[in-house]
A and B are shown apart, each in its own frame.
Chain A
């Protein structure tokens, strides 16, 4: 098999901190190679060196056998290397074809842009990819997954032979993931080499041919995916054997108490007839496809959506909120899905973020009591092990895991009894994931009620006493703990087959 990329003994240090220590990485033509590692392990630095963003301090890079020295991202692009970014780099106001031809437009004899030719190229590329997108459509009208496909089309039309995908499924629903995966397989068959960077183990095992784990700037594992096990991979990422992190720890929930949250026949524009109870000390998992109403449910409980019918009770009292501040007053907290855009103020420091929901409580005569706040922030930082050299450090400079801890700290500080967590482990590495899971367990042990929405079934299974499966705004099924433990049921629900299947797989994996 042809070797597309051979990176040998790459070293890179920032100021005096070594980020990569003689790391090697090999990518073959026509393979999908998963690149794994914790946050800060060095995998993004390695990819930035491959795409010419950083120059290595030492080591060699060969592309199809030829040694290269990239001086800029342009050089790498010219060598056929393309990166598909998490935050997509398309201009929303231009059409698909205009984006694909951006900055290398074809011209007519008179020096004007030849729109027809551009559209032709775009159409041809999309057709080769077997993707059904009209090149004349504006990018703004496309879904996230379609935009990603256009991004890939753009790379291919520029002659990319090596494609790097960074967390490509982070914002995709599971049927969209299937589309992406089948595209990846077709590209592979055409001899294109794909680096697949992801935190999602399930996907890595499904799609990749080989995988490489980077830890502390060193390549600690490169192996055929078929020969690897989940445990082995996680152990290499974490660095020590993570024991039973994804295992269920049983806890006693007293169902004779009054429920902390009691929802009955809740109906909104997007939800219909949703009913469930959550007891003190209980974790309710919510599973379902994107758009199934999972996030809507949390937003409704938090007073961000209009309730059309049914009731919500908290500790027995009616609790339909019109605004988030009313929910906060009743000790309800929502940790939103996208912490960077919804949970944090990135340019503000750790402490200012944490005390934000507490302003009312921490203020006397509208003056903020800074000393109280600092004490609280110090305690929470210690409790949650937030790693930073200063509480004034803008949270935008922290790692994803630490950012997520700051968001959670914010709500614990606010004295929340009912925590609504929307995808709490999205985009954080395995070791932080396990920390977040044990944090959820601790919260339940303290008698708090937690509702967790997650696309990662192993994680839901690890913490939930019950799992609510949602579909099209309704509660499709409720899995009780004894039932969750069983692996042999529920094959006959055809309408939900896709998700049932993955739930099933996840059930067996645990």
Chain B
């Protein structure tokens, strides 16, 4: 490594930003584990499963499309976890948003349908944020409760029945459509990834998120309004869960309260595999999305290998644990 040549007694120097920053890599190994894991597993499947069509463009785009809901939500939850909070309600909110969007699309058209879906998510996010930062209830409990509230409302207003969506533009935009050769779900993933990554790494809001999660008191002493930072993270998480709901509605051409059930666990797993610390202060949007893709990749590859879905689940769980164990690095003085 380049900077090993520098004597440790020299005054702190600033490295030039590089594509892969070696100095950073040394201290933030956990942020990069996910890429190694992804690379190794991808290559394994590429070599062994090439004959089963693993490497075809269709299959690879499928993996990305398939993961869109998790990827998009993981981008927002990367901020929430970075700020040392948690959002367990993303899956249930996506389900409810798919329902409100479906109802609105059929009554009032595309624009209001989208607005209703996103609005539902944002509203719930704002309530979550208010309860956590203004009332002072831990986000784990608030969002756990909200999970039940959201999916209950979704079930109630639809009497547990799916709400079909006939609007082809909506379904294309959020589901089966293409932009040139690229599926719309892949585009949504890319948008979330780029916006999220730049926000977390390059804007002062991103720094405030990580500072708040890293040490809330120190952040406050530095003049950061940590309550507002957390409030915003939870509100945006709700909004993005709403977007995930639109993607479900578009993909399945219907709104249903069950869409997204259990997503919260995959999302959190993706964020943590992606290099975030559950205690806040460290997080990566790119890592979270790659983590989400990794989960689907494993499922996809193992199924191509002929494994049963039950066996796939076992392998997936074990790999999650392994990835997190690899990333674990203790601070030593």
Residues of A within 8 A of B (CB): 323-325, 327-328, 334, 336, 341-352, 355-357, 359-360, 362-363, 366-368, 370, 374-375, 377-378, 381-382, 385-394, 396-397, 410
List A contacts of B224 (CB < 8 A): 325, 356
> Does chain A have a CB within 8 A of B107?
no
Known A-B contacts A324-B222, A357-B223, A378-B13; the reply to A344 vs B202 at CB < 8 A is: no
Chain B residues with CB under 8 Å of A396's CB are: 331
For the complex, give the distance between the alpha carbons of A378 and B14 in Å: 6
Query: Does any Cβ of A come within 8 Å of B159's Cβ?
Result: no
CB distance from A266 to the nearest CB of B (A): 21
Chosen A-B contacts, 11 in total, with CB atoms closer than 8 Å, are A324-B220, A347-B331, A352-B211, A359-B208, A366-B203, A386-B11, A390-B12, A392-B15, A392-B23, A392-B27, A394-B331
CB distance from B168 to the nearest CB of A (A): 38
Task: Please give, as numbers and ranges, the residues of chain A lying within 8 Å of B218 by CB-CB distance.
Answer: 336, 341-345, 356
Q: Which chain A residue lies CB-closest to B215? A: A345
Query: Given known contacts A347-B214, A390-B3, is B222 in contact with A368 (CB within 8 Å)?
Result: no
Chain A residues contacting B12 (CB-CB under 8 Å) are 350, 377-378, 381, 386-391, 393
- State the CA gap A69–B275 with chains docked (Å): 41
Apart from A367-B202, A381-B14, 6 more pairs, CB < 8 Å: A346-B214, A360-B204, A363-B203, A378-B12, A389-B6, A390-B23
Number of A-B contacts (CB under 8 A): 139
* CA of A452 to CA of B102, assembled, Å: 63
Which of B7, B13, B221, B331 meets A397, CB within 8 Å?
B331
Asked if A389 and B10 make an inter-chain contact with CB atoms under 8 angstroms apart, the answer reads yes
The complex places the Cα of A378 from the Cα of B207 at a distance, in Å, of: 19
Task: Determine the chain A residues whose CB is within 8 A of the CB of B3 once the complex forms.
Answer: 389-390
Residues of chain A within 8 A of B208, CB atoms compared: 359
- The answer to the question of B17 belonging to the interface, with a C-beta cut-off of 8 Å to chain A, is yes
Whether the pair A345, B204 counts as a contact (CB closer than 8 A) is no
Write the chain B residue with the least CB distance to A335: B221
> With A346-B331, A390-B23, A390-B26 in contact, do A351 and B14 touch (Cβ < 8 Å)?
yes
Interface string of B48-76 (1 = CB under 8 A from A): 00000000000000000000000000000
* A343 and B204 in contact, given A348-B211, A396-B331 (Cβ under 8 angstroms): no
Chain A residues positioned under 8 Å from B26 (CB to CB): 390, 392
Bound CA span A348–B214, Å: 8
Task: Check B282–A356 contact: CB distance below 8 A.
Answer: no
- Residue of A323, A336, A342 most packed against chain B (CB within 10 A): A342
Does B131 sit within 8 A of A, measured CB to CB?
Answer: no
Chain B residues positioned under 8 Å from A359 (CB to CB): 204, 207-208
**A residues less than 8 Å from B15 (CB atoms):** 390-392
Name the A residues within 8 Å of B211 (CB-CB): 345, 348, 352, 356
Which of B24, B206, B222, B225 makes the CB contact (< 8 A) with A356? B222
Task: List B contacts of A397 (CB < 8 A).
Answer: 27, 331-333
Contact A370 B9 (CB under 8 A): no
Which residue in chain B gives the minimum CB-CB distance to A355?
Answer: B207
- In Å, the complex CA distance between A370 and B204 comes to 11
Q: In the complex the two chains form, is A393's CB within 8 Å of B27's CB?
A: yes
Cβ–Cβ contact A352 & B207, under 8 A: yes
Q: Is B310 an interface residue (CB 8 A)?
A: no
Chain A residues with Cβ under 8 A from B8's Cβ? Answer: 388-389
A347 / chain B contacts, CB cutoff of 8 Å: 214, 277, 281-282, 331
Bound-state Cα–Cα, A463 to B10, Å: 29
Q: Find chain A residues with CB under 8 A from B225 CB.
A: 323, 325
Check B115 for interface membership: any CB of A closer than 8 A: no
- Could you say which of A341, A348, A352, A357 has the most chain B C-beta atoms within 10 Å of its C-beta? A348
Which A residues lie within 8 Å of B333 (CB)? Answer: 397
Which of B13, B24, B203 has most A Cβ within 10 Å? B13
> When the two chains form their complex, are residues B203 and A368 in contact, meaning their CB atoms are under 8 A apart?
yes
How far, in Å, is A5 (CB) from chain B's closest CB? 24
CB neighbours of A363 from chain B (8 A):
203-204
Given known A366-B205, A368-B202, contact A385–B331 (CB-CB < 8 A): no
Measured between beta carbons, the chain B residues less than 8 angstroms from A356 are 207, 211, 218-219, 222, 224
Whether the pair A387, B9 counts as a contact (CB closer than 8 A) is yes
Cβ contact within 8 Å between B27 and A346: no
